[in-house]
């Protein structure tokens, strides 16, 4: 499998913290966010990091590692989906896509071994999000996610009723033939600013992709805001990842 880490964004919500460095190098409990992914990264034979904002800083950080970098020159005017396909010419195998601003239990790798396109989804996500924001903000900030059995039916969009039982974690495994379908669909869709979950949802609605969901309670945390950062500093002091 090939690992693709998406790290081209500007991290605007962390403002001063990301003035000179990309978001994934912001420190949590005195350790860069992306450093928590080391054990996970080391399980892959090929690793690509898609960079954009402050690209050279991230390249220097990994200068002694066998990691290849792909530059999204349009990082200011595109989104994560575009970043994924910036790396498409290097892809010849199944891939795992990971956001670069998440901290998670590295044993989640074991959930990705099946030879199918699948998505880990967080079971006790509301408990986690309550440490990040109030209930009203959770409803506004989180995304809807609907499954039937273990199949993903829809993802993304605002939550109109009760909170969903599960939440996307910023990780997905895509088998090679599905990656080729995604690339073809993206070219036809011609929406360079589309966000990742909306793109996946478009494919689901058009029955162009099938995704199995793997439910997990394993540790996961996302860093978007200063409150996220402060909460993560406290939590990671108590957890050995």
DSSP per residue, 2-23 = EEEEEE-S--GGGGGGGSSS-G
pLDDT band at 7 (very low <50, low <70, confident <90, very high): very high
Tell me the C-alpha distance between 232 and 184, whole Å: 38
CB-CB contact of 23 with 101 (8 Å): yes
Give tens-digit pLDDT for 186-217: 999 988 889 999 999 999 999 999 999 999 99
Question: Mean pLDDT, to the nearest integer, of 7-15?
Answer: 92
Residue 160 has a CB neighbour count (10 Å cut-off) of 7
Tell me the C-alpha distance between 193 and 185, whole Å: 14
What per-residue string of b and e applies to 95-110 under the rule 16 or more CB within 10 Å gives b?
bbbbbbbbbbbbebbe
- Asked whether residue 173 carries a pLDDT value surpassing 90, the answer given is yes
CATH number for region 2-236: 3.90.550.10
What contacts 63, CB < 8 A, 6 or more positions away? none
Find how far residue 238's CA is from the centre of its chain: 24
- Asked whether residue 238 carries a pLDDT value surpassing 90, the answer given is no
Does 26 or 141 have the greater pLDDT score?
26
Query: Which pLDDT score, from 0 to 100, does residue 239 have?
Result: 84
Tell me the C-alpha distance between 160 and 139, whole Å: 8
CB-CB contact of 153 with 147 (8 Å): yes
Find how far residue 221's CA is from the centre of its chain: 11
What contacts 192, CB < 8 A, 6 or more positions away? 74, 77, 78, 79, 81, 82
Q: Exposed/middle/buried for 126, CB within 10 Å: 0-12, 13-18, 19+?
A: middle
The domain spans of the chain are 2-236
Query: Which pLDDT score, from 0 to 100, does residue 98 have?
Result: 98
Does 237 or 146 have the greater pLDDT score?
146
Question: Mean pLDDT, to the nearest integer, of 210-228?
Answer: 95
Query: Which pLDDT score, from 0 to 100, does residue 217 have?
Result: 95
Query: Which pLDDT score, from 0 to 100, does residue 83 have?
Result: 95
Tell me the C-alpha distance between 38 and 139, whole Å: 32
Question: Mean pLDDT, to the nearest integer, of 25-39?
Answer: 95
**Any idea which residue has 């989906």 for tokens?**
81
Query: Which pLDDT score, from 0 to 100, does residue 192 have?
Result: 85
Mean pLDDT of the chain: 94
CB-CB contact of 121 with 214 (8 Å): yes
Find how far residue 1's CA is from the centre of its chain: 17
Give tens-digit pLDDT for 144-169: 999 999 999 999 988 888 899 999 99
- The pTM of this model reads 0.95
Per DSSP, 164 falls in state P
- Asked whether residue 60 carries a pLDDT value surpassing 80, the answer given is yes
Tell me the C-alpha distance between 174 and 119, whole Å: 9
- Asked whether residue 40 carries a pLDDT value surpassing 80, the answer given is yes
CB-CB contact of 26 with 223 (8 Å): yes
Beta-sheet pairing, 27-28 with 31-32: antiparallel
- Asked whether residue 241 carries a pLDDT value surpassing 80, the answer given is no
Q: What's the CA dihedral at 30, 31, 32, 36 to 10 degrees?
A: -150
Query: Which pLDDT score, from 0 to 100, does residue 6 have?
Result: 98
């Amino acid at each position: 499998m090939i690992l693709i880490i998406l790290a081209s964004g500007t991290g605007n919500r962390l403002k001063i913290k990301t003035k000179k460095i990309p978001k994934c190098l912001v420190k949590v409990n005195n350790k860069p966010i992306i450093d928590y992914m080391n054990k996970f990264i080391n399980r892959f034979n090929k690793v690509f990091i898609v960079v954009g904002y402050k690209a050279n800083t991230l390249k220097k950080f990994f200068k002694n590692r066998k990691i290849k970098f792909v530059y999204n020159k349009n990082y200011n005017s595109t989104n994560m989906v575009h970043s994924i396909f910036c790396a498409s010419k290097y892809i010849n195998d199944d891939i795992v896509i990971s956001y670069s601003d998440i901290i998670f239990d590295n044993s989640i790798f074991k959930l990705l071994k099946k030879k199918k396109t699948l998505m880990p989804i967080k079971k006790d996500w509301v408990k986690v999000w309550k440490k990040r924001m109030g209930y009203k903000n959770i409803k506004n900030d989180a995304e809807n996610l609907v499954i039937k059995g273990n199949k993903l039916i829809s993802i993304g969009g605002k939550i109109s009723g009760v909170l969903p039982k599960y939440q996307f974690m910023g990780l997905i495994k895509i088998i090679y033939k599905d990656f080729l379908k995604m690339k073809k669909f993206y070219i036809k869709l011609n929406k360079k600013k589309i966000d990742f979950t909306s793109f996946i949802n478009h494919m689901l609605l058009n029955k162009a992709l099938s995704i199995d969901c793997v439910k997990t309670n394993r540790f996961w945390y996302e860093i978007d805001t200063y409150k996220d950062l402060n909460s993560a500093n406290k939590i990671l002091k108590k957890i050995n990842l």
